[in-house]
């Protein structure tokens, strides 16, 4: 049985093909520049070199058709025909407060996604277009929606409400929703397995650090608080998003400049964050290179980003009272030893002590790493996230009628014996290049 997962952004369509019976990934890829012109697909099938093809995709339907053509093609394909695919899992950024778990996409679900579209204006329209496109091409298989917000529906009112007129919540659903939920679900379950603890007796602070970044306080295995808000704009400093700021600031600048509300929203989401501070860079690799050459604004951006993450770690430690582990994940969390070091330095008084040598070794997505010092009271794990696996398992369970909310459902990766075959194979190559990596591989307790 083969399951396809799709993650459609405003100008991209990311996919994975998973062989459920073999428990292995057949192919992954992405179509970029959808709707923008000069579109292209990057496709990587198991055991083969990456394949790239330029083909214009003016709509997401065109992108999905290109994906299907590639998956079934004689030269680069991994399945004989689309009849092999028995379910499709879709990422949906914003489900509002209407969903506490993944669902089969039906007319009611689509109506709900459209109803909360304004809460996720940068992502939800693309997610909806991706679902509609896939349903046209694959009309006879179940399509399943996995919401980033569903994981956070366990937050209590003191965490998710804003101190604004209460009728805004009642009439307009103004509240904290949080995002990166699929990533947090995976890393929370994996952290509990590594700790050898019941997931529902485990307290964690998880930092998902990428172009979009957020922190999650997990109490007894459930989301208790998170840094993103009604939209993904709130919280940490991100690639192009401002994160936390005085809510009066936009009105002040609008009065000074004559900017419209739409222009301000665009500035805070697409022209701020690291790009706004540096004036030219949103990618941490570019910022690191510029900082090493003495660019003061790039250095400032690094200091600000690390400081903001550190503040949230401390705040969530205080909110939880007990922290069993600190977890870092996503692109920056998994690969940037420099930023990890800046974030973790100075947390010794909280019992969080990292080992610089271990930290410098941890640069792989193929294993879970333990980078805390031997005398650290709280372990620091790097857990490469796997949102696609969550989507795949949810889709399979929904298709077979075995699925439920995560507090009543067990994932394969919750087992201490879980092995990702693709990553295990990749780890062999990593160890051949750097045998010292073996010293930081996290082992279940």
Task: Please identify every residue annotated as catalytic.
Answer: 148
Look at the alpha carbons of 106, 135, 22, 46 in this order and tell me if their dihedral is positive or negative: negative
d(CA 74, CA 380): 46
Q: Yes or no: say if 419 and 36 are a contact pair by the CB < 8 Å rule.
A: no
Q: Can you give the three-state secondary structure of 13-56, one letter per residue? A: EEEEEEECCCCEEEEEEEEECCCCCCCEEEEEECCCCCEEEECC
CA distances from 293 to 277, 278, 285, 289 (A): 17, 14, 13, 7
Using alpha carbons only, how large is the chain's radius of gyration in Å?
A: 21
- Could you give the CA distance from residue 130 to residue 352 in angstroms, rounded to a whole number? 42
Specify which residues 208 forms β-bridges with: 214, 329
Token representation of residue 441: 């591989």
| Structure-block tokens of residue 217 | 């306080």
Which letter does DSSP use for residue 408 in this model? G
Task: Enumerate the β-bridge partners of residue 8.
Answer: 13
Distance in angstroms (rounded) separating the CA atoms of residues 151 and 112:
17
d(CA 184, CA 334): 14
Place of tokens 């004559």: 258
Neighbours of 433 (CB within 10 A): 8
- Total residues found in the chain within this entry: 445
Of the candidates 187, 175, 245, the one whose C-alpha atom is nearest the C-alpha of residue 216 is 187
């Amino acid at each position: 049985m083969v399951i396809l997962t799709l993650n459609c952004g405003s100008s991209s369509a990311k996919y994975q093909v998973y062989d459920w019976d073999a428990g292995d990934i057949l192919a992954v890829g992405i179509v970029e520049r959808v709707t923008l012109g000069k579109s292209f697909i990057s496709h990587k099938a198991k055991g083969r070199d990456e394949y790239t093809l330029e083909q214009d995709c003016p709509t997401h339907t065109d992108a999905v058709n290109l994906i299907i053509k590639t998956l079934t093609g004689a030269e680069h394909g991994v399945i004989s025909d689309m009849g092999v695919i028995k379910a499709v899992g879709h990422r949906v950024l914003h489900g509002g407060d209407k969903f506490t778990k993944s669902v089969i996409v039906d007319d009611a679900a689509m109506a709900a996604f459209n109803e909360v579209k304004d809460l996720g204006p940068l992502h939800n329209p693309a997610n909806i277009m991706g679902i509609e496109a896939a349903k046209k091409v694959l009309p006879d298989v179940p399509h399943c929606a996995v919401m980033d917000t569903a994981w956070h529906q366990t937050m209590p009112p003191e965490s998710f409400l804003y101190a604004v007129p209460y009728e805004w919540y009642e009439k307009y659903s103004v509240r904290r929703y949080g995002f990166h939920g699929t990533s947090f679900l995976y890393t929370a379950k994996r952290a509990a397995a590594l700790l050898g603890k019941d997931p529902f007796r485990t307290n964690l602070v998880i930092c998902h650090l990428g172009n979009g970044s957020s922190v999650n306080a997990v109490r007894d295995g459930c989301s208790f608080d998170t840094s993103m808000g009604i939209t993904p704009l709130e919280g940490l400093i991100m690639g192009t998003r401002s994160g936390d700021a005085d809510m009066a600031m936009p009105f002040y600048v609008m009065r000074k400049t004559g900017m419209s509300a739409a222009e301000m929203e665009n500035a805070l989401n697409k022209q701020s964050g690291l790009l706004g501070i540096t004036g030219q860079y949103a990618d941490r690799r570019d910022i690191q290179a510029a900082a090493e050459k003495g660019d003061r604004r790039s250095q400032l951006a690094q200091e600000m980003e690390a400081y903001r993450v550190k503040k949230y770690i401390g705040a969530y430690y205080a909110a939880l009272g007990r922290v069993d582990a600190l977890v870092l994940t996503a692109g920056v969390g998994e690969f940037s030893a420099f930023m990890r070091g800046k974030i973790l330095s100075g947390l010794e008084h909280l019992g969080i002590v990292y080992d610089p040598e271990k930290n410098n070794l941890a640069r792989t997505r193929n294993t879970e790493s333990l980078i805390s010092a031997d005398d650290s009271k709280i372990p620091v794990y790097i857990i490469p996230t796997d949102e696609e696996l969550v989507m795949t398992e949810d889709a399979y369970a929904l298709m077979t009628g075995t699925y439920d909310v995560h507090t009543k459902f067990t994932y394969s990766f919750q087992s201490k014996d879980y092995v990702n075959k693709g990553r295990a194979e990749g780890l062999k190559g990593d160890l051949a290049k750097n045998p010292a990596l073996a010293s930081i591989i996290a082992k279940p307790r």
